[in-house]
């Protein structure tokens, strides 16, 4: 008789469970945890693909196949916290990576730590923290405040509403945002946002570039600080903004009436300040040698 070495567990809220388990022979796992809808999911993994999506049950489900080199994993679950940890000790570089499908209530908060995986998160409402080294992260159709700590990661933020904070080294970020805050601290990498609505931007980089197509409102307050990084901001009329640009060694320009018409705001100077319309919105650019461009189309 063939024995299938898999794991299945249903955990009720009144019974906590702690497991440190050898990986099954067929490497398959399947867990279900009854939890509060305001629970936190903590997940640590090393390489592979992880899909995290919402469903309408007060249950966190974790299923899939673990890395071919993994030996142990740990599970700890209570009403408000579920933790899943793949023990990556002594993993070689030749493993296949884990393939995990995680389903959660939409209001669950995420706490993810991962190396070299592709992570897909969609339809969540409560935000969280995602730390990655390598790989790719895609956050789509979600609401809430998220913080990302990334190294050499491709990050996509599609149709996201909420605050976004990113601390990154050599990561590229793109997407479409609508929210109160975008705060970036980066060493390098490119940032590209299209058709976005963001109230406050705080962007600090050494050599990263940012290209931003954004709708300005009266609450818009954008600050860009770079060493060598370039900043391009494009928006549409009507234009009611105060722009202040400072640079130590490069010219800056503003394209006021389309791609073919260019008005130089500064050339060789160190500071310029200019107001368009009522000047309710504010854009501040400060750089050592990066270029700043503001376009109205």
What's the pLDDT at 103? 97
Convert the pLDDT of each residue in 16-28 to its tens digit.
444 578 888 899 9
- Predicted TM-score (pTM) of the model is 0.87
CA–CA separation, 233 and 268 (whole Å): 21
Convert the pLDDT of each residue in 265-292 to its tens digit.
444 556 778 888 888 999 999 988 888 8
Contact 206, 226 (CB under 8 A): yes
User: Which stretches of the chain drop beneath a pLDDT of 70?
Assistant: 1-19, 88-93, 249-270
What's the pLDDT at 245? 84
Tell me the two tokens of residue 259.
């791609």
What's the pLDDT at 251? 52
What is the DSSP code (8-state) at residue 79? S
What's the pLDDT at 13? 36
What's the pLDDT at 239? 81
Residue 132: CB partners within 8 Å, gap ≥ 6? 112, 113, 114, 115, 117, 119, 148, 149, 150, 151, 153
What's the pLDDT at 197? 94
Contact 221, 202 (CB under 8 A): no
CA–CA separation, 59 and 104 (whole Å): 6
């Amino acid at each position: 008789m063939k024995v299938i070495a898999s794991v299945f567990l249903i955990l009720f809220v009144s019974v906590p469970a702690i497991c440190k388990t050898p990986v099954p022979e067929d490497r398959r796992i399947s867990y279900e945890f009854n939890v509060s809808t305001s629970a936190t999911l903590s997940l640590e993994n090393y390489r592979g693909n992880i899909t995290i999506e919402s469903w309408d049950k007060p249950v966190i489900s974790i299923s899939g196949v673990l890395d071919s080199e993994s030996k142990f994993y740990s599970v700890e679950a209570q009403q408000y916290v579920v933790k899943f940890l793949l023990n990556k000790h002594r993993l070689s570089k030749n493993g296949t990576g884990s393939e995990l499908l995680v389903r959660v209530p939409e209001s669950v908060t995420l706490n993810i730590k991962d190396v070299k995986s592709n992570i897909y998160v969609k339809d969540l409402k409560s935000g969280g923290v995602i730390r990655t080294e390598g790989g790719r992260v895609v956050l789509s159709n979600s609401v809430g405040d998220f913080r990302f700590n990334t190294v050499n990661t491709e990050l996509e933020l599609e149709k996201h509403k909420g605050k976004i904070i990113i601390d990154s080294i050599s990561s590229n970020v793109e997407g479409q945002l609508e929210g109160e805050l975008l705060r970036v601290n980066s060493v390098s990498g490119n940032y590209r946002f299209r058709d976005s609505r963001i109230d406050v931007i705080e962007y600090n980089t050494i050599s990263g570039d940012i290209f931003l197509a954004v709708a300005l409102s009266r609450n818009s307050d954008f600050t860009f600080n770079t060493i060598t990084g370039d900043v391009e901001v494009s928006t549409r009329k009507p234009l009611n903004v105060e722009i202040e640009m400072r640079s130590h060694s490069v010219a800056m320009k503003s394209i006021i009436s389309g791609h073919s018409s260019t008005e130089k705001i500064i050339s060789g100077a160190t500071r310029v300040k200019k107001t368009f319309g009522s000047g309710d919105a504010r854009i501040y650019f400060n750089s050592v040698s990066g270029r700043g461009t503001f376009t109205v189309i």
